[in-house]
C-alpha cells in the first residue's frame, strides 16, 4: 500500500480483528488483504506472463503459472480441459485515401477478434456511416461493396452495454448486406488514438467480412470528412484462424475442502485469458489476482470454512465465455452442490458495494455478511450479481454475487494496448481483494445458504 492514509487504514482494519461486534476472523481477513500482495500477483501475471489470448503460448503459460502458484498456496489444483478456437492478429493498417479536398491520412485500427483477413492487396472502398443496426438495415443495397463505419457516442461505462452490439453483431449484419468490410468506432471512454479491440460474432458458415476497431479520434475524422464529400479508405488485415485453428487449453480449478459440508461448494472466479494488445491488467488480470490472493489468505487461516471453497480461473471468456460454458456443462449434473458463485471481472477499481442475484430474502442476508467491508468502502448491497462465466448457472437457480467496483476509468483502457499494470492502483486492488476474500468466506462458512432463484419460465 502507498502513503500515510493507506497505512492508517491498514492499522485501523487490523484492529478490528478483536472486535466482538464483527464475525470471527473478519478483521484479520480484511487486514491481510490490505497488505496489498494481490498487486504483486498481478505484476507477475502481466509483466512476466504477459498477454494471454486464448489458444496462444501466453495463455498456456498463464495456465502453468497460476497452477504452480495455487499449489504453492497449499490448495488442491486440477486442470479441466477446454477446447478453444485460436485466432492470430497479423498485419493491420488502414488509411483515408486522398481526394480533391484532402491529403491521405493513416488510421489507427485493430482487427476485431474472429475477423477474417482482407485479400492480399487489402480492401479499398467508399465509407458509409451508420449509428445503429436499424439504420444499417434501412439502407438496403446502398451498403453493397462499401466499408460500413459503425459510429456511436459512448461517454461513460454505461454506454458499453448500449453500444457493444455494434461491435459484436454489426459486422455480421453488414456482411449479409453485401458490405466489403466494417470499421467500428472503439468502445472507449477515453483515447489517445488507441483502438480498442473485442470479439465480433460471425455465424458458423455465414457471411464474414474483414472487421476492425478504429480509434475514437479517427472515427470522428471520418465523420467530419463525410460531411464534405465521399470518403474512400484502404484496409489491410492479416488476421485469421491460427494453425491449428483449435487448441487444447484448460480452466484452472483450485479448492479447499470444507470442514462440515464439503459437498456444498462456493465458487469464486475470474477469467485467465486476455486480449493480445496489452497485458490484460484490468481485464481480467486484476480479477485473477483478487481470486488467487483471496484463496491464499483464506487457506493460510488453517481452519477450513464449513463448505468447500473453489476458485476457477476460466479460459477464453473474451470470445464467448467458452471456459464458463465448459465448466457449467461438466458440473451441471448436480447443480445443488454449487450454492453460490462470485465472479471478479470489473477491473482493479475500489469496491463500492455488493450485488446479488438470488431468491427472496437474499439481499438482507448479504447485507449482514457485508458489514465488515464498510471499512474498505462497501456501502450498498443491491440486486444484480453475475458475470459472463457464471451466468450459465442462472438457469439452475444458483445464487450469484459480484463485488461492485469503481469502473469510471475502466473503459479508458479496456481491450486496448493501454491495459497494463500501471493503470491499477495497489490500494484500490487491495480493497477489492478484501471484499472478494471476505464475501467468499462469509458464503462458505455461513450456517445457511442463500435462497436459490426461482427457475426461469
- DSSP annotation of 409 reads T
Place of cell 480492401: 123
Of 92, 173, 317, 343, which one is the catalytic site residue?
Answer: 317
Query: 274: closest CA among 316, 241, 246, 312?
Result: 316
Strand order through the sheet with 92-96: 105-107, 92-96, 232-237, 123-130, 147-150, 181-185, 211-214, 109-111
Place of cell 492499522: 11
Task: For residue 408, give the C-alpha cell.
Answer: 469510471
The C-alpha atoms of residue 31 and residue 275 are separated, in whole angstroms, by: 33
Query: 376: closest CA among 438, 442, 296, 434?
Result: 434
Phi, psi (5° rounding) for residue 125? -165, 165
- DSSP annotation of 452 reads P
Active site residue 317: yes
Task: For residue 298, give the C-alpha cell.
Answer: 483464506
Query: 295: closest CA among 440, 405, 403?
Result: 440
Phi, psi (5° rounding) for residue 367? -60, -40
Number of Cβ atoms within 10 Å of the Cβ of 442: 25
Name the residues annotated as catalytic: 317
Amino acid at each position: 500500500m502507498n502513503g500515510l492514509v493507506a497505512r492508517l487504514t491498514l492499522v485501523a482494519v487490523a484492529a478490528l480483528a478483536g472486535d466482538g461486534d464483527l464475525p470471527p476472523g473478519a478483521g484479520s481477513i480484511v487486514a491481510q488483504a490490505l497488505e496489498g500482495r494481490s498487486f504483486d500477483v498481478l505484476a507477475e501475471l502481466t509483466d512476466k506472463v504477459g498477454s494471454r489470448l486464448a489458444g496462444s503460448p501466453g495463455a498456456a503459460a498463464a495456465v502453468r503459472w497460476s497452477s504452480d502458484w495455487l499449489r504453492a498456496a497449499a490448495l488442491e489444483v486440477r486442470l479441466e480441459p477446454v477446447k478453444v478456437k485460436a485466432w492470430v492478429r497479423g498485419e493491420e493498417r488502414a488509411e483515408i485515401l486522398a481526394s480533391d479536398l484532402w491529403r491521405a491520412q493513416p488510421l489507427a485500427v485493430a482487427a476485431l477478434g474472429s475477423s477474417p483477413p482482407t485479400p492480399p492487396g487489402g480492401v479499398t472502398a467508399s465509407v458509409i456511416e451508420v449509428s445503429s443496426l436499424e439504420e444499417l438495415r434501412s439502407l438496403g443495397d446502398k451498403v453493397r461493396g462499401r466499408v460500413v463505419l459503425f459510429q456511436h457516442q459512448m461517454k461513460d461505462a454505461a454506454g458499453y452495454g448500449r453500444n457493444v452490439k455494434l461491435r459484436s453483431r454489426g459486422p455480421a449484419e453488414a456482411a449479409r448486406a453485401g458490405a466489403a468490410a466494417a470499421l467500428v468506432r472503439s468502445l472507449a471512454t477515453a483515447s489517445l488514438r488507441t483502438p480498442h479491440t473485442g470479439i465480433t460474432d460471425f455465424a458458423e458458415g455465414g457471411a464474414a467480412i474483414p472487421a476492425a476497431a478504429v480509434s475514437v479520434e479517427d472515427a470522428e475524422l471520418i465523420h467530419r470528412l463525410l460531411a464534405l464529400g465521399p470518403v474512400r479508405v484502404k484496409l489491410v488485415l492479416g488476421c485469421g484462424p491460427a494453425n491449428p485453428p483449435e487448441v487444447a487449453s484448460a480452466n484452472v480449478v483450485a479448492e479447499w475442502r470444507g470442514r462440515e459440508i464439503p459437498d456444498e461448494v462456493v465458487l469464486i472466479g475470474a477469467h485467465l485469458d486476455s486480449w493480445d494488445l496489452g497485458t490484460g491488467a484490468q481485464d481480467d488480470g486484476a480479477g485473477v489476482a483478487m481470486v488467487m490472493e483471496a484463496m491464499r489468505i483464506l487457506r493460510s487461516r488453517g481452519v477450513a470454512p464449513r463448505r468447500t471453497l473453489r476458485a476457477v480461473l476460466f479460459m477464453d471468456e473474451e470470445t464467448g465465455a467458452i471456459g464458463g460454458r465448459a465448466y457449467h456443462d461438466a458440473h451441471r449434473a448436480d447443480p445443488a452442490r454449487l450454492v453460490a458463485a462470485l465472479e471478479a471481472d470489473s477491473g482493479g477499481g475500489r469496491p463500492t458495494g455488493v450485488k446479488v442475484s438470488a431468491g427472496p430474502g437474499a439481499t438482507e442476508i448479504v447485507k449482514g455478511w457485508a458489514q465488515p467491508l464498510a471499512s474498505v468502502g462497501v456501502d450498498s448491497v443491491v440486486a444484480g450479481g453475475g458475470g459472463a462465466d457464471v451466468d450459465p448457472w442462472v438457469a439452475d437457480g444458483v445464487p450469484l454475487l459480484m463485488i461492485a467496483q469503481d469502473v469510471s476509468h475502466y473503459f479508458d483502457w479496456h481491450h486496448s494496448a493501454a491495459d497494463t499494470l500501471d493503470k491499477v492502483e495497489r490500494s484500490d486492488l487491495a480493497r477489492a481483494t478484501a471484499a472478494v476474500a471476505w464475501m467468499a468466506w462469509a458464503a462458505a462458512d455461513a450456517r445457511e445458504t442463500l435462497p436459490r432463484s426461482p427457475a426461469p419460465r
